[in-house]
Each structure stands twice: as structure tokens, then as C-alpha cells.
Amino acid sequence: MHILVFIACVALLLGTVSSPLHGADKAAQPNILWLIGEDMGPQLACYGTPQVFTPTLDKLARDGVRYSKAFTVTPVCSTSRSSFMTGMNACAIGAHHHRTPSERKQQLPDGVRLLTGWLADAGYYTANIVNIEQSIKGTGKTDWNFKFADGDGFKGKDWNELKSRQPFYAQVNFSDAHRGFSAPKKADPAKVVIAPYYPDHPLTRKDWGEYLDEITRMDGDIARILEKLEEDGLAENTIVVFLGDHGQAMVRGKQWCYDSGLHIPLIIRWPKNFPAPKGFEAGTVDDRLICAIDLTATTLVTMAGAAKPAKMQGRVFMGDKQEEDNKYVFATRDRCDMTTFHIRTVRDEQYRYIRNFMPEKPFLQWNNYKETSYPVVKLMRDLHAQGKLDAVQEVLMADHRPAEELYDLKNDPYEIHNLAADPAHKAKLAELKSTLEKWIKDVGDQGPEPANIQAQYQKQVDEKTPDKPAKKKGK
């Protein structure tokens, strides 16, 4: 009898060893669910924002870890998503111009793949969920500025497939905070907090309140998704990640290299059936500098148990294979829609340095998307013409930009006092400037679009730009 039991055990062991799943045991791999909010900064109640009602995400933060200093590496969707879906800076793979036309998209370099391709090799079913239930849909957004190998994309789009396809990596993308606000009204415009670079005007307050209402509505949809995880028996085996793809679609937010365009929410909840990794303590706030491509590397290595690709630029920020913490985080902005800029920035714990390589271009260079969908742009143009903007607000209306900007985030969280010419900050300016210059070389930054292509887009701007507004009264 003992011999039979021994033989059975050996056979079972050999069967397990001889049937590896790309080097990983399915039962030992957690599911991974990314919930991605489009066009939103960290405007959640758990981040301290008033007049937004996010009980679901607040609880997710209490049950997991909330990252207070998470940043995307570019401030617009196609370039940001091109980055966090590869673990690479968009400027290093030729994906840094927003909505690159298909005929100019480059193939991903050798050794660079979509996260979904690496995860599929590790035994994961990959899905970009669209169909959840009748009242809740994901957008299925990808918006990548590159060509990629066949088979590396998502394999599914239906929530009801997940239970039978474990382990899975799935995304649900939410477009609520994207322009086209229509959520039920909950925020009180009189109580919202307005940044000082906006005019404190009823229209500004209404617009900000409507943005917060969209986040409130999204929170309700996420509540239902987390309920479905429970109903399907998946919650205790699924890592849940909530993040934003870049900052809010507001003047000086989306498409701009300030915290308002780059700072994103990031919350991670670890499931009960898997031991939490080193560096993860539920119920805490993590204040380290994290960038979105670090989440890519951490998802692959710490969550899925795969090896980090040699070329991947993101850093693993938790687990046994955790890498050195970031002392700096970097970001880039190039052409967005019809407007061409070339901007690079670096941020440490306290300061942000911005290098404007095209300072001759105005901050609010004409952009059809913004002119037609951002009501505060028109408001500011009108108030500027009437001489009713204060000095801080007038900075956005200037016909050029400084070549260098330096901000003390601790004492100036809205980044309105440029210290680049302040002798007291000469050493910090030099440190961040040299750090940025080294990063540009080390990362393989592919730089601005060629001059002939820039000229084509500038022609569009020139054709669309109306006559210059009248001079201010009294000027």
C-alpha cells in the first residue's frame, strides 16, 4: 500500500514538473486587473479633493496601497499609453507624437513588446474588457503610436470569459473624465477648489464641478465591477490596480508638463490568496516617486512572476526583485494634435525643472480640440482681451514661453512662481538641468519631429488661428 502511494505521488510530481506553463504554475499566478481612468489626475476624495464622491476607490485605497507621487511619462493619451503598455518612454521608441499617422508609425524595436505579449508568454490570458453588463461598458481603448507583432495584442473583450481563462490580465478603460461631460450633478460649484491660474468665474467652477461629477460616476461603475469580481469568485485571486492615463483635460493640465498634466492616481489592492510582496503594506500611503512605466515592469515581474526584459526602462518598485527607487522622474511633450512643441521635464521630491525647446511658441497656441471643447480657453481669451485676468492668469496668454522653468512643489504646488532666474536656486537649476540632459542621451530620446513635418502642422495652426484679439483696455 505504501509503495502504491509512493508511486502515485511520484507520478503526480513528475506530471507537474513535466507540464510547465511557460515556467509558471497557473495555480500560483494571481489574476491582474487594471482599471484605467482617462483624462484624470488624482482628483479622488482619498487624495484630498473636495466635492468628488469616490467611496469605492477610497475603500480600495484603505484596503491596498495609495501612491501619492505617481506620474505618467507623457501628458496625453496616445503617448502615455504607448509608454505604459511597453514599459518604455515613448520618446525612446518613436511613439512620442500624439496620434502618429499610421503611415509614420514605427515597428517596435527588437526586444520591446507590448506588456500583453510578455504576459501571454507567462501563461496569461489578456483582455481589454468592453462587454461587462448592459449598464457598464469599457471603452476598449488602446491608442498606440507604433506597429507591433501579430499576436501581442489583447485576446478577448468579454468579462464573462475571465473566470474560465485564469490567470488573466485584463484592463477596463473608463472615458468618463474625457471631455463631453454628462454625469448627474453632485458637486457644488461654489465649493470646488479652483487653481489660481484660472479665473474664479462661474463658468470655471461649473466646468470643474462637471469634471468631478464624471469621476463620481466612474466610481459607481467601478463599485459594480468589484462586486462582479466577488460574485464570480475572483476577488481573492485578483490584484486590482487603479490608475489614470494622464492629467485632467483642463487648461494647463492634459498635454502640459506640470503636475496638473502628469500627476496621476495609483492604487493597488493585493488579493487574500496570495502573500503580499516585499514593499507592499495594505492600508498605507507610499510617497516614493513612481512613474507609469514602473507599473509595467512591476506588473510583469512582481505580479506575474516573469523576468524583466533587458530593454524595459520601467523599474520594479516592489517584491524580491525590487530595483532602486527613483530619485527623479522624467516626462516629455511633443506634437499634440495640430500644435507642435518640444518639451522635456524632470522632477525630484520637491522641484520640477522644465526645458522648453521652442520658447517662441505661445502657451495657448491654437488647438482645435481645446478651442472647441475647453470652455475655459474661450473664457480666458475673452477676459484677456478685456484686461480682466490677473498676473498669474496672464502668464498663460503670453505670446512666448520661458526657455527654462523651475518650481518648488513643496511651497508652490500650483507651479506658478518660476524660480529659474532666482540666484538662490542656481544650484538646484544646474542639478536638474544636467540630470535632464543626461537622461535625454541615456534614454535614447528621438527628439522633435523633422522640420518639414513641423511646417505642415504649423500651416494648419496658421490657417485656423483667428485674427489676434484686440489689445487690452488701457494698454
Distance CA 326, CA 185 (A): 40
Classify the C-alpha dihedral 216-169-267-275 as positive or negative: positive
Range with lowest mean pLDDT among 8-22, 188-202, 223-237? 8-22
- Per-residue pLDDT tens digits for 201-211: 999 999 999 99
Distance CA 81, CA 74 (A): 9
- Per-residue pLDDT tens digits for 58-85: 999 999 999 999 999 999 999 999 999 9
Instruction: State the burial class of residue 161 (Cβ atoms within 10 Å of its Cβ: 0-12, 13-18, 19+).
Output: middle
pLDDT band at 4; cut points 50, 70, 90: very low
pLDDT band at 26; cut points 50, 70, 90: low
- CB–CB of 409/415 below 8 Å? yes
pLDDT band at 27; cut points 50, 70, 90: low
Distance CA 347, CA 345 (A): 7
Q: Is the pLDDT of residue 9 over 90?
A: no
Question: What is the reported pLDDT for 20?
Answer: 31
Omega cis (within 30) before 167: yes
The full set of domain ranges for the chain reads 30-322, 333-464
Percent of the chain at pLDDT > 70 equals 92
* Mean pLDDT computed over every residue of the chain: 93
Radius of gyration of the chain (CA): 24
Distance CA 113, CA 148 (A): 7
Domain 333-464 belongs to what topology?
Arylsulfatase, C-terminal domain (3.30.1120)
Q: Is the pLDDT of residue 474 over 90?
A: no
Question: What is the reported pLDDT for 23?
Answer: 35
Q: Taking the model in full, what pTM does it have? A: 0.93
What is the pLDDT averaged over residues 33-53? 98
Q: Could you tell me the three cell numbers for 227?
A: 462586486
Distance CA 47, CA 52 (A): 10
Q: Which residues contact 196 (CB under 8 A, 6 or more apart)?
A: 392, 393, 414, 416
Distance CA 255, CA 340 (A): 11
CATH of domain 30-322: 3.40.720.10
Higher pLDDT, 470 or 194: 194
Beta bridge partner(s), residue 123: none
What is the pLDDT averaged over residues 361-389? 96
Distance CA 136, CA 102 (A): 31
In order, the DSSP letters of 369-401 are: HHHHH-HHHHHHHHHHHTT---HHHHGGG-SS-
pLDDT band at 159; cut points 50, 70, 90: very high
Phi, psi dihedrals of residue 264, rounded to the nearest 5°: -130, 155
Phi, psi dihedrals of residue 399, rounded to the nearest 5°: -85, 5
- CB–CB of 175/211 below 8 Å? no
Higher pLDDT, 18 or 42: 42
Q: Is the pLDDT of residue 475 over 80?
A: no
Question: What is the reported pLDDT for 14?
Answer: 39
pLDDT band at 28; cut points 50, 70, 90: confident
What is the pLDDT averaged over residues 253-265? 98
- Per-residue pLDDT tens digits for 283-313: 999 999 999 999 999 999 999 999 999 999 9
- CB–CB of 249/261 below 8 Å? no
What is the pLDDT averaged over residues 398-427? 98
